[in-house]
Every structure is written in C-alpha cells, then in structure tokens.
A = this chain, B = another copy of it.
Amino acid sequence: VVTGLELHPLLRRGIEVRSRHVGIERPQALLRLVPENPEALLALGNRHVVSALQFDRELVVQLCRLAAGIEIQPALLHMPLTGKILITAFYEPSTRTRLSFESAWHRLGGDILSITDPATTGMAKGESLADVAEMFSNYSDVVVLRDRDAASVYSMLETLRVPIINAGNGIDEHPTQALADLYAIFKWRPDLATDTPGQPIRVGIIGNPAKMRTVRSLLHLLSMFAAVIEEVVVINGDDDVFGEGQRDALAQRGLRLRVEPGLRNNLPALDVVYINSIAWIGDTFERLTQAHRLTADSPFKPGAIVLHPLARGDELDVSLDDTAHNWYFSQARGATFVRMALLTSMVERVHRVADVRPPS
C-alpha cells in the first residue's frame, strides 16, 4: 500500500458524502409533523439526567423535535452555551459517547474540561465521590459521567450543585443513548411521535435487558410509547434475561414483551431491529449474543431498519452498510443533535433555540 513512490488512488479524488447514510434527510418530516412545545423542555432546566425513567412521552418527542431542527440547520444556532463549561469524566473507556457529548457542547459554543483517565485524578489519592462532586460544582456548569460502578453517579447527586448526565453507569442505564435510539426511530417514522400514528411497529432487541445498560434505558423509553408498539421481541437464548422485577415494571406501563431464542424465524416480522453484543461487567466487558449476527442476507422485513448503539463487532456485518436497512449510521450521527437538544434544555437555553423551524 505504502510505496513512497506515487500517490495512493484514494487521494486522487475528493471527499464524498456517501449516499448510504439513509435518514439524514428525514429530520425535516419530523419537524413538520410534530407541533413545537418548548414548555415541555423547561422541565429539564437545572435537573440531573440519570435515568430514562425521568423522561415522559412529550419530553422525548420535543427533545427529538429540537434535535431535528438542529440537524437541519445547525448554522442557525448562535452558540447558546458560550461561556459555559462542561466536565466530561470518563472513568471507563469510551470514544463514541465522549466525543459525541464534547462535539455537541462545542457546537453549542461551550468549553470543556476532560478527564479520560482516573489515574490522573485526585481519586487516585482516595478522594470521595461526594468531594469530587463538590469540586466539579465549582469548576463547571454541567458534568457528564461514565463509571463502571452503577452507584457512582448516585453518590455524586448528594453534593452536586450543577446538573449531571449519566453517560453509562455499569449495567444500569445510559439514558442519552436511548434518546438517540428514539430519535432515529422518529426520523424513520415521524408519525409515531404524533397524536395520529400509523401502523404500530414491532421492535426486536437482540441483547440482554438485565445486563446491558443501553437496552435497559431503551426499554424505559419504549414503555412510554407502548401505544404505538405492537410488541417488543427480545431475541435471546437464555431463559432469564430480565432483572428482578424489570419485566413486570415494563408490562405495567403497557409494553408487550416476548422473549424468543431464534433470530432468523423472528426477523421477518420485525420493523426495528436493535442489536448490541457488549455488556459491561465490572472492569471488563462480555460479548453476548454472539450466536446472532445480522448481514445483508438476513431475512429482513422490507423497510425494516437496523439500530446499533455502540462500537460494532462481528454481530453487525459491514455488508449491511450499503443497504436501506442501515439506520445505525443515522442513529450515531443523530446522537450529537439529540444531546445538543438535551444540553440546551438542561442549561436553560431553550429560549435561544426554540424558534428553530423548518424552512417555509
């Protein structure tokens, strides 16, 4: 490849915006179909965001609507967070989530203090999380935390005087990822976010609701939209894939759940296929559901979309990238916009962006 003699073919042409990114043009439909209701976003003002349970249907819809407005016309934003400071404290390896948050914050005009390695911090000297939170409150306007221990974010709540976002706490939750998942679904089917939805959808989740924080938070959000979800099918060969009481709580909120061992026989009936193979356990991760793998040849329902919340492994074949089922790129791209909408709301700057409307 590297000869030093002549120019590599890939350098002879310009950069292409690749057409396989289905869905990038869709936020406009979402913006048109959903009426603006900025009041719903005021509930986030100066509040922590730790669990997807904190949201409600209208809040999720309005966050996605604001995200759509930003995605369509990012240049309309006049840096609503200028002079504000974000601390991103990632005590567990991450690129995707950290960069997405940091990109979102910078695009809103703010500055960032990053912590990517706990060994470089005072916690190495034995500082308590309550004291770290006290300190973070002095230095920042919002904190984003990822930690292997599910309890860490809760330990900080007691002393924090600025809002915190849970960007993944052990196996517990990852609420902003679930927002990004919903945003992708609403770009695909904006009617689902309205009062006059069309055909209900069937959602397949290849993963483990007990052990995967992304799945746990997504199920919380889906339960708020139970009316437009015919069924959630969890594809998993294990008998017991729910945490204690988890299934009952979801059912109580109206979500219809079924667990199925096989992928191929269920795939043709699914509108949304969500796949994830990584579960974090303590200091390391397991690859679960390795038996299940999606490729361009898998028996998808026509028009079905595939979502994947994380860095992919073998479970999601690159042959799917150039198909119309690929909405995971749109989902990853949209994560930044939905986080911009969330951060703007938390720092109480909605009034500076709420007039974002589709071009008339």
Binding site for B on A (CB under 8 A): 1-8, 10-11, 14-18, 46-48, 50-51, 53-54, 79, 83, 85, 87, 90, 93-96, 99-100, 102-103, 106-107, 109, 111-117, 119-128, 130-132, 134-136, 138-140, 150-151, 154, 157-163, 169-170, 172-173, 216, 220, 243-246, 249, 278, 285, 310-313, 318, 329, 332-333, 335-336
Contact = CB atoms under 8 A, between A and B. Distances in A.
Contact of A1 (B99, B116, B154, B313): B154
Given A10-B154, A87-B99, A116-B116, 8 more contacts: A7-B53, A8-B51, A79-B83, A95-B122, A100-B139, A111-B111, A114-B114, A134-B332
A161 B15 contact: yes
A243 B48 CA distance: 48
A96 B10 CA distance: 28
A138 B332 contact: yes
Given A4-B172, A85-B103, A311-B127, A135 B15 contact: no
B123 A10 contact: no
A122 B96 contact: yes
Contact of A103 (B115, B140, B158): B140
B4 A216 contact: yes
